[in-house]
Amino acid sequence: MSENRSAFEEKAAPKGGAIREFASYYKPHLRLFLQDMACALLIALVDILFPVITRKVLYEYIPGQMMRTFVLVMLLMLVLFIVRMAAQWFVAYLGHMMGVRIEADMRAAIFAHMQKLGFSFYDKNRTGLLMSRVTTDLFDITELAHHGPEDLFISFVTLAGSFIVLFRIKAQLALVLMICVPLIVIFVALRRQSMMRTSRAVKQRTAGINAEIESSISGIRVSKAFGNEDKEIEKFSRCTDAYVDARKGYYKVMAGFFSGTDFMMNLMSLSVICAGSYLIMKDQMDIATLVTFNMYVASVQSPIRKLTQFTEQFTQGMAGFQRFRAIMHEDPDIVDSPDAKPLDHVDGEIDFRDVTFSYDEKKEAVLEHVNLHVRPGEMLALVGPSGGGKSTLCQLIPRFYEATSGCITLDGQDIRSIKLADLRGSIGIVQQDVFLFAGTILENIRYGRPDATMEEVIEAAKQAEIHEDILHMPDGYNTIVGERGIMLSGGQKQRVSIARIFLKNPRILILDEATSALDTATERRIQAAFDRLAKGRTTLVIAHRLSTIKNADEIIVIGEHGILERGTHSELVRQGGIYAGLAMDAGLCGT
């Protein structure tokens, strides 16, 4: 199962403070929580009162032929049971709703926090595993958030009330019970840690299954193309087997826990019968007292059973919460500095000053000592072998990654001193692998500026040369694009992404091999849209097809040792270096 784990999967939640942190999520729902506890108190009091009244009936009302009092007391108990039913309804319905709201708050919190985490975090973690943290890991929290405090409260109130009454009835028998209860509590405490460990293992295996499902469904076309459906089934079966093994371990621990607890509670009943019978034989107690005491044994056992159920809820819920905490305590690697300033105006002048970058401090740098100046409105083209650092260089500008050393400036201002939202708001990126959300074309274009009017969306689509295509679609702008835009052609997806950038209207544009996967005719059409898009903007273009960048203001060749060559197309061809060789292969040496 190790192949399903991400680098983050093994990271533990910070120690300490888990209960306090969990309790903080009750604060927005405090009124509902207190109402739930009040109803729980009513339930506990009625449960304590019933044996007391039963004893009165057996000792006073029946022997004394007190029919009127007996009827009134029975009517009172009926009213109390109706009140208890209403309290139970409140606890069962609104109490669960409180748990669901707390779960929803946690889910919203972790999703919002994950939006703040940088690219490096997602580079190291599988999507399916992260999805488990947001979904299945939090399901058990609903039950814990609702039943946890309620069960503890009812149990302690019922136990305390029952023992007060029991000591007044017969102190010797009460002491017998008092000895049994701590033994059960110790047993529960000792078993809790092993249940927590096995529950966490189950959640890890569930996350692995989710990761395999996400990966397999996302790559279903690839697996079918290679005829590897059976291979995918085999991989999934291994995940499922690991999950079953984890469940087996959990159920084994749980079985020992519940059977042991049940045995100890039976010993409690047996101890009371033995001790009570001995006292009766010694004429120190009558049978009616023993019957009443046995009723209270049931009252004592009920909260103990609740506590054992709470232990299972607690282990499952807290296992999920610990995994939730692990992400919530993951610090974003790129954030606004305390003195970050907004951008009022952007000219688009970019400078790299002795910039070095490595994805991992232990690995070799991808970029070393890069110095680069891009003038406002200039088109800079980047070429070179795959893995040379072209995309990395461009991703440093919007601070998707942080430079290891050196600095990058925008209009003379260090980008680390600019508010992230403003910095990224001034940059538009079009990539080769276009991502469209599984909504409508309108929603995907409007993603560039959510408050745009319909007229502005249409104008952006016209600029991107996709408007006419949209009009010929069944539902026009409301046409569903499918998962990742699968219902559209490659060229249509690319033009929708260009329309999105037109709508955003950024001052800086990054085109990362945006046409390399398209046929020549489609590329020509999209290139025209790019030319309009790049007009008047500072543009960085990464391209394999040199025909698309030969008119760039400056071309730089990037290799494993940084910038190897720089100049215009004609200058680089005359130099007869790496670029000239690429241009010759492309048939562009004479142009």
CATH code of the domain containing 238: 1.20.1560.10
> pTM for the full model?
0.70
Tell me, yes or no, whether 134 and 25 share the same domain: yes
- Band of the pLDDT at 22, cuts 50, 70, 90? confident
> In this structure, is residue 407 part of a structural domain?
no
In whole angstroms, give the CA distance from residue 198 to residue 147. Answer: 21
Torsion of the alpha carbons at 387, 393, 399 and 404, rounded to the nearest 10: 80
> In this structure, is residue 341 part of a structural domain?
no
How high is the pLDDT of residue 1? 39
pLDDT of 206 > 80? The answer is no
Tell me, yes or no, whether 83 and 202 share the same domain: yes
What number is the average pLDDT over the span 302-310? Answer: 74
> In this structure, is residue 513 part of a structural domain?
no
> In this structure, is residue 361 part of a structural domain?
no
pLDDT of 310 > 80? The answer is no
Tell me, yes or no, whether 198 and 318 share the same domain: yes
pLDDT of 186 > 80? The answer is no
Amino acid letter for position 497: S
Give the domain CATH number at 496: 3.40.50.300
Of 455, 470, 505, which closes a domain? 505
Q: What is the pLDDT of residues 323-374, one digit of tens each?
A: 788 888 888 888 888 888 888 888 888 999 998 888 877 677 788 888 889 8
Phi, psi (deg, nearest 5) at residue 552: -65, 150
> In this structure, is residue 380 part of a structural domain?
no
Of 306, 328, 350, which closes a domain? 328
What interhelical angle do 520-534 and 490-504 show, nearest 10?
0
> In this structure, is residue 396 part of a structural domain?
no
Q: What is the pLDDT of residues 96-140, one digit of tens each?
A: 888 888 888 888 888 888 888 887 887 777 777 777 777 777 777
Tell me, yes or no, whether 57 and 204 share the same domain: yes
In whole angstroms, give the CA distance from residue 255 to residue 24. Answer: 33
Structure tokens belonging to residue 145: 């958030």
Tell me, yes or no, whether 70 and 197 share the same domain: yes
Average pLDDT, the chain: 79
Structure tokens belonging to residue 453: 């009017």
3-state SS, residue 350:
strand
Tell me, yes or no, whether 324 and 435 share the same domain: no
In whole angstroms, give the CA distance from residue 549 to residue 536. Answer: 16
Provide the 10 A C-beta neighbour count for residue 386.
8
Domain containing 484: what range? 428-505
Q: What is the pLDDT of residues 553-569, one digit of tens each?
A: 888 888 776 788 888 88
What number is the average pLDDT over the span 3-23? Answer: 61
Of 269, 293, 328, which closes a domain? 328
> In this structure, is residue 83 part of a structural domain?
yes
> In this structure, is residue 43 part of a structural domain?
yes
Under 8 Å between Cβ of 347 and 507: yes
Question: What's the number of domains the chain is made of?
Answer: 2
Tell me, yes or no, whether 324 and 432 share the same domain: no
- Band of the pLDDT at 474, cuts 50, 70, 90? confident
Residue 148: CA atoms inside 13 Å, Cβ hemisphere, count? 21
